[in-house]
Amino acid sequence: MGLLHEIQASLMDGGDLAPILLKLKFLGARLGSAPLEEWVHYESNGYPKDVEVPPYRIVHPSYQGTFSGPAGMMIKHAPIPRALIAQFASERWVNYTIRESVSAIEELIRNGGGQNGQYSIQASDLIIVLQGNIYEDMACNSIVGSIGRSALVAIQNSVREKILGFTIDLEKAVPIASEIDIGSKSSNISPESEKVTKIVNHIVHGNYTTISNSGSNSTFTFNLTQGDQAAFAANLIEAGISKADANELAEIVASEQPDGSGQFFGAKAKEWIGKNIGKALDGTWKVGLDAAGKVLAAAAIAYYGIGPT
């Protein structure tokens, strides 16, 4: 049995993910795919604070606080609406990133997710920020943040499903990958690394596209969630389109839909591109004319969810 099918069989058995990830890491090395190896490394060892986590590792904690007031008044375990947390603190407290390794997450699940079936997070920093903003004339004494066991199980299942989805798509796109075993060499597989990278980006991060920059060896890889206007603009800026133009086109794209089947843009966006595409020639945009067209089309495909290129 090849390594790819071993991984699929292990997933079906429902065992721990750690040994499956080890097999996937070996497979990634033979495929010559750095993005696959990187994803496996972070899932196996945890995500550092300076590394963005995939969307499936963002959860929404609940918060409770203890408050004291005049004449010994006290409110314990009072739920704090997430809207107030976001308003007075920041979105990161309501869209919380789980950075622990898969093994750590599975251990928490086995232990019931922590005390009372909840995974506690350090929320003491919120005491100062929320002081006086929850109950009038009452002091905030403590805040506890918690994530339900079900959220941890969802992360575990997401990783499992993504590994399975990756192996299925890989077998279709790169049939020779199913022949890799422990004794395989990477020489016959590595030329397919670009296909592997596309599959990884699509499975792990969502919509993607990778294009080559005309006249150089540069490539642009888009990791863009459908309908994310800010990410649409950010990808254009990274590809070499000026910030002002990227933001302007992002607003237009968000305001309309493509003109029918087979079209990437609506009427306003087409008109804007016609007026501005010359900036790829005069040096205003740091991208060649041919690549600029591909960049714009690729970003639109990802934004509207038309499908990968």
pLDDT at 190 over 70: no
**What single-letter DSSP state applies at residue 214?**
T
| Cα four-point dihedral sign 251, 253, 254, 256 | positive
- The whole-number pLDDT of residue 180 equals 82
pTM of the model: 0.64
How far is Cα 159 from Cα 155, in angstroms, rounded to an integer? Answer: 6
- The whole-number pLDDT of residue 212 equals 46
pLDDT in tens, 74-124: 999 899 998 899 888 888 898 899 999 999 999 888 887 555 667 888 888
pLDDT in tens, 193-242: 777 877 887 787 665 444 444 444 445 556 666 788 888 888 888 888 99
Residue 309 — very low, low, confident or very high, per pLDDT cuts 50/70/90? Answer: very low
- Single out the residue of 119, 122, 98 nearest to residue 110, CA to CA: 119
pLDDT in tens, 31-55: 888 888 889 999 999 999 888 888 8
- Average pLDDT taken over every residue of the chain: 83
- The whole-number pLDDT of residue 214 equals 42
pLDDT at 57 over 60: yes
What percentage of residues in the chain have a pLDDT greater than 70? 85
pLDDT at 29 over 80: yes
